[in-house]
Amino acid sequence: MSNILRSQETSNDVLRHVARNVRELRLENGLSQQELADRAGLSRRMLVSVEAGDVNISLGKLDAIAIALGVSFARIVSDSSPPSPHGEIVWRGHSPNSQAVLVGTATVRREAEFWLWSLEPGEFYQGEPDPEGYQEALIVQEGQLVLTIDRETERILPAGTFTLFDSSKTYRYTNVGTEIVRFLRTVLN
């Protein structure tokens, strides 16, 4: 896996989040830096640098730290404030448009379904409630999707946004715009 790279032009919030989260989680688990480093298969020096926010660490090594702490990868790299609807930039390449954005996580018990959807202007899809515990994740690629949950809550999702919702209620996807809407739908169970 590639590294999380610092950008010279902008501060790298991810490294700051990682530093804070790893240190807090290590202390909550009553681990020394050496104990956590050993569990994650890292050197103590590397872990010290991670906690200081001074190192470009591979995503694979961050995942090893998360596993050693018994938490999700997202917990390690995310800000503790409410999540952005655009996600968290976790990796940057050398070119400005090369990046990986973690848009959300969900616990899956059995399986995940991945769908490519498109709705022409004026079209809608009325979804029936899924069994309890099901969730859907939507990432809008083009156009603007209107998501209505339980006939009450309406979310307007322009291109480039993400949402995760409990699909054990009725839901509806609607294209009220003049352009086609394309989105990725993941059903999590």
pLDDT at 84: 59
Q: Which residues contact 154 (CB under 8 A, 6 or more apart)?
A: 146, 147, 148
Distance CA 184, CA 178 (A): 20
Query: Is a pLDDT exceeding 50 seen at residue 6?
Result: no
pLDDT at 100: 72
Residue among 173, 176, 177, 175 nearest 187 (CA):
173
Most confident of 17-21, 28-32, 87-91: 28-32
Could you give the 3-state DSSP secondary structure of residue 136? strand
- With bands split at pLDDT 50, 70 and 90, how would you rate the model's confidence at 150? very high
Residue among 162, 154, 157 nearest 181 (CA):
157
Q: Where are the beta strands (DSSP E) in 130-180?
A: 135-142, 144-149, 153-158, 162-166, 171-174
Determine contact, residues 53/42, Cβ cutoff 8 Å.
Answer: no
Q: Which domains does the chain have, with CATH numbers?
A: 13-102 (1.10.260.40), 112-188 (2.60.120.10)
Q: Which long-range contacts (CB under 8 A, 24 or more apart) does 101-104 make?
A: 102/73, 102/74, 102/77, 102/78, 103/137, 103/139, 103/162, 104/74, 104/137, 104/162, 104/164
Chain mean pLDDT for the chain: 84
Higher-confidence position of 187 and 87: 187
Mean pLDDT over 150-175 rounds to: 93
**Percent with pLDDT over 70 in the chain:** 87
Query: Is a pLDDT exceeding 70 seen at residue 86?
Result: no
Residue among 185, 171, 174 nearest 121 (CA):
174
Query: What residues does 135 pair with on adjacent strands?
Result: 166, 188
pLDDT at 7: 39
pLDDT at 83: 55
Query: Is a pLDDT exceeding 50 seen at residue 1?
Result: no
- With bands split at pLDDT 50, 70 and 90, how would you rate the model's confidence at 182? very high
Determine contact, residues 93/5, Cβ cutoff 8 Å.
Answer: yes
Query: Is a pLDDT exceeding 50 seen at residue 118?
Result: yes
Distance CA 35, CA 79 (A): 25
pTM of the entire predicted model: 0.58
pLDDT in tens, 129-146: 888 888 999 999 999 999
Neighbours of 122 (CB within 10 A): 10
pLDDT at 82: 55
pLDDT in tens, 32-57: 999 999 999 999 999 999 999 887 78
